[in-house]
Amino acid sequence: MQIKNKTHWSTRNLKTFVVKICDQEMVTPRYRKYLWIEFNYAKKKGYGYDDYPSGYAWYNSCRMVIHLPKDKIHKRALAKVIAHEMAHNQGVHHKSMHGPRYSFEDSGWTELYAWADELALEKVVPVIPPTPTKLNAAHTKLAGAQAALKAWTTKKKLAMTKVQTYKDRVKYYEARIKEL
């Protein structure tokens, strides 16, 4: 299951809604494995249901998009919309979606999804990293320069050791050649 959340609502909380609906809809493990849901913000308002989510899904696939309102979400409606779009994924068309399980028009859907009121749905406060100051940047560059100096000093010592080793070898073999 892959959830792409482009909203300030908690991804973990949204996933609990999806998992609960998957259990109710009795979907296969294969469907759950490939399920891809994108949550984003609703663009239109003014239908009188500003706290209701909406969405769309592709027939006989594992992809759906759910549009969430920014301010407040009707939890029961969110559960119903996820179930409705999941039914589309299973190949069910609107003309077959009668009854309270998938349709807002039929009464009884609020009682059917009453369990959704008990689930948490929180807003996540985005963590804004502190803006770096010139002093912080200077400290970072200083630390980098000190690390590079240490590394090159170590390399220099190793190089000097190698140079001395090969000077000694050259001296040894020159003396050996003179003896022969």
* Residue 66, H or E segment: strand 63-68
Q: In this structure, are residues 13 and 75 in contact, taking their beta carbons and an 8 Å threshold?
A: no
With cut-offs at 50, 70 and 90, classify the pLDDT of residue 49.
low
What confidence score (pLDDT) does residue 95 get?
86
What confidence score (pLDDT) does residue 103 get?
79
CA atoms within 13 A on the CB side of 77: 16
Q: Quick one: CA torsion of 47, 52, 53, 57, rounded to 10 degrees?
A: -70
What confidence score (pLDDT) does residue 126 get?
76
Same domain, 36 and 112: yes
Amino acid at 164: Q
Beta-ladder partners of 41: 68
Q: pLDDT (tens digit, 9 = 90+) per residue, 132-174?
A: 788 888 999 999 999 999 999 999 999 999 999 999 999 999 9
Distance of CA 156 to the CA centre of its chain: 46
Query: What three-state secondary structure class fits 124?
Result: coil
Same domain, 77 and 44: yes
Q: What is the mean pLDDT of the chain?
A: 88
Q: In this structure, are residues 98 and 40 in contact, taking their beta carbons and an 8 Å threshold?
A: no
Q: pLDDT (tens digit, 9 = 90+) per residue, 6-47?
A: 989 899 999 999 999 888 888 788 888 889 999 998 876 655
Q: Is residue 123 part of a domain?
A: no
Residue 112 contacts by C-beta under 8 Å, 6 or more apart in sequence? 80, 100, 101
Q: Is residue 124 part of a domain?
A: no
- Structural domain of 31: 2-118
Same domain, 112 and 36: yes
Same domain, 66 and 143: no
What confidence score (pLDDT) does residue 110 get?
83
For residue 70, give Cα distances in angstroms to 38, 49, 54, 90: 15, 13, 13, 29
Same domain, 113 and 27: yes
